[in-house]
Structure 1
Amino acid sequence: MVAGETSGDLLAGLLMDGMKARWPQMAAAGIGGPRMAAHGFEAWWPHDKLAVRGYFEVLRHYRSISRIREQLAERLLRERPDAFIGIDAPDFNLGLEARLKRAGIRSIHFVCPSIWAWRGGRAKKLAASADHVLCLFPFEPELLQRHGVAATYVGHPLADVIPLAPPRSAARAKLGLPDDVPVLAVLPGSRRSEIEMIAPVFLETVQRLSTLRPDLRFVLPVVPGLRELVEPLRERLAPDAALMLVDGQSHEALAACDVTLIASGTATLEAALFKRPMVIAYRMNALSWQLMRHMAYQPWVGLPNILCRDFVVPERLQAAANPQTLASDVLNWLDTPAKAEAVERRFEELHHLLRRDTGRTATHAIAQVLEA
């Protein structure tokens, strides 16, 4: 198995729940993180070695990532596992999967690449790489089958884990937050590059909001290993804010908050499953942005908006992600409770759609591939 970042580690850990239930003696190894390790996964490399986003950011790390992929491929070809499962990370995994598939090793890709959003040419590469694709979203299998790719909709494992009724009071108690104050969860991303590009503007927004709304409290979950980047930014950019940094605990922060300011990515879906109004923002290297925006097939970048096929929450990208605009968006949610309640109802419908006992459903699909 290969999971290339924090979100992939989370998905893989949830998948391994189902796999271990069916195959208690299963051994799994490759590239992964702590959630996979909790299920007995042997990490030959840590998942954060692959946690790079953006064309030019990837180029800087290309040699080291390529070396890891080559060493991993050689080891898997020697040891010949019953199956290889690539968890997202298509730039790393698809080429590896194609090589393993040609050698007769069953290759499964978990999470359909976003060919419906951009880079549709990946469909052909996917057909050559994976024996089967496990899809998180209901519209994906039909799209893949048009390109000759076998696929199964397994739902999103987060929809099984996150409760339909978010435990707001319990989460606030765990974080030491009162029940009677407004709370903003600030999630600037899980990658080092995201902390460098996005956390500064988020913290400037926090400082601005703390001046406009002195009663507003803030909680920022920090990914393990990145606190040394966040602490100096917090001291410099949001010195006066009632801001709490917590290690991990992003789900507690989302359950506890009234609104979240959040970087585009898997975390936005988690926020939707917690039924939280949000402001989605993203910044990246300017050259990467110019390349990616010309490849987009649809007007949305945030998963909640993509799944709802509408701008149900604001998206602020690049220059639009500035403290003035982001603070205004946050206050708009806080000051219009009817609007917030409407989006919460929309997210509850989405939660029911995505709840499919993913671990069991995906394991059944994997078993069929192994038995074919």
Structure 2
Amino acid sequence: MKVFVIAGEPSGDKLGAALMRGLKSQSQEPVSFQGVGGEDMIAEGLNSLFPMSEIAIMGIGAILREYRNLKRRIRETANTIIAEKPDVLVTIDLPEFCLRVAELVKAESDIRVVHYVAPTVWAWRPKRAQKMARHVDQVLALFPFEPPYMEAAGMRCDFVGHPVVTEQVATEEEIAAFRTVQGFGDAPVVLVLPGSRRSEIGRLADTFGETLGRIAESRPDIRFVLPAAGNVAGLVEEAVQNWPVNVTVLDPRGVDAERFAATKRAAFGAADVALAASGTVALELAAAQTPMVIAYDMPWLSRQIIGRMLLVDTVNLVSLVSDTREIPEFIGKDCQANLIAPAVLSVLNDPSRQTEAMAVTMERLGQGGPPPGERAALAVLDGLK
């Protein structure tokens, strides 16, 4: 069986590698892989047409700067697929590239197209599903509430589970060792997660700093820890110097990646509550069973546009998956320290209402069942029957 698979960023590379492992283990015949991917997919046997980094481009400005090269790679990739005639094309996320390739392939062939990671049509821009359906046969969804949206547009959609359920979490021994090394002892710990993009740090740093100051005024025994993303570690270090509290910053620069990942997991496990920017980090916190408060702001124009287009009353994935509203959110104009700090203290004092919501979330995302990569593989193979 010939499989052509495309991923354009690290998260997609991990999904692709897990899918490839699943296909090799579940297929009744040998499987060969061609496409575009990173180190993980190449290690599983992918013959990559070109480096994944060439299409791992984010932001309108970057896309415009690289437009000619991207357009050339889209056409080159589509031509290769049409010429090779694989049994199935699997595109993973990165719709700006992947769905354009799928459109060209479908225009000149009947090759089956599977798209892995459903677009967030349940949150905004629902017409994307109808547009996708013109050149996508099947969607592999990460969330259990997504299939009806895709199916209504005319595509087969299989919920295959979220990769967060396979991520490691810290052991009790690792958590205890982390507390000892950091000198936290039995003190309550607040995990601070202001985002992984420079723009997020720039918008949230002052508010987060003021929030921590207010928390410390009420609870001077609290300790604060911030695991920084490598690309913003320097910016984070600068920001915390102006905060009114001492914060332990975990800096990944110059540290072995696996060692830092283990330290970060221990920090998540050691925390009694997290103050986090909105995003998929909520699922990482749920996996670690760390209660949370979400705060996020954006430029004024983005507030107006997104506010008018948003179709859901929460941006927190734990709330959406568990169908609860137990996690406090302070978004846009509500992202203010005087509102956020009391919520963090309240959750610290009584996290019980979140505990069940997090457990339900992990169960619904596939925890305890077959790995998502295996489920995705079985869905792809079933679609080929």
Q: If the length of structure 2 is used for normalisation, what is the TM-score? A: 0.81
Q: Show the counterpart of 1:269.
A: 283
For the 8 Å contact 1:206–1:241, the answer to whether it is kept is no
Q: 1:129 to 1:289 in 2, by over 3 A?
A: farther
Q: Show the counterpart of 2:73.
A: 72
The residue matched to 1:129 in structure 2 has which SS?
coil
Q: 1:20 to 1:322 in 2, by over 3 A?
A: farther
| TM superposition shift of 1:158 | 1.3
Query: For structure 1, which runs of at least 5 residues remain unmatched after alignment?
Result: 53-57
Give the distance between the partners of 1:40 and 1:217, measured in 2 at CA: 46
Question: How much is the aligned-residue C-alpha RMSD, in angstroms?
Answer: 3.0
| TM superposition shift of 1:49 | 4.2
Give the 5 Å matches for 1:11-90: 11-19=15-23, 21-22=25-26, 26-27=32-33, 29-30=35-36, 32=38, 44-46=51-53, 49-52=56-59, 58=60, 60-64=61-65, 66-80=67-81, 82=86, 83-90=88-95
Answer yes or no: is 1:133 the counterpart of 2:139: yes
One of 227, 233, 239 as aligned partner of 1:227: 233
The residue matched to 1:113 in structure 2 has which SS?
coil
Q: 1:311 to 1:30 in 2, by over 3 A?
A: same
Q: Show the counterpart of 1:245.
A: 250
Q: If the length of structure 1 is used for normalisation, what is the TM-score? A: 0.83
| TM superposition shift of 1:313 | 0.3
Q: 1:234 to 1:206 in 2, by over 3 A?
A: same
| TM superposition shift of 1:17 | 4.5
Q: Show the counterpart of 1:365.
A: 379
| TM superposition shift of 1:141 | 1.8
Answer yes or no: is 1:316 the counterpart of 2:330: yes
| TM superposition shift of 1:38 | 6.3
| TM superposition shift of 1:11 | 4.1
For the 8 Å contact 1:171–1:255, the answer to whether it is kept is yes
One of 153, 156, 176 as aligned partner of 2:159: 153
Q: Show the counterpart of 2:103.
A: 98
Moved more, 12-21 or 216-225: 12-21
Give the distance between the partners of 1:224 and 1:25, measured in 2 at CA: 36
Q: 1:70 to 1:311 in 2, by over 3 A?
A: same
Give 1 or 2 for the bigger CA radius of gyration.
2
| TM superposition shift of 1:6 | 5.6
Answer yes or no: is 1:297 the counterpart of 2:311: yes
Moved more, 267-276 or 103-112: 103-112
Moved more, 172-181 or 211-220: 172-181
Q: 1:129 to 1:172 in 2, by over 3 A?
A: farther
| TM superposition shift of 1:28 | 5.5
Answer yes or no: is 1:352 the counterpart of 2:363: yes
CA deviation string 1:99-134 (max 9, x = no partner): 233343543221211212221111101212322100
Query: For structure 2, which runs of at least 5 residues remain unmatched after alignment?
Result: 253-259
Q: How many residues align?
A: 358
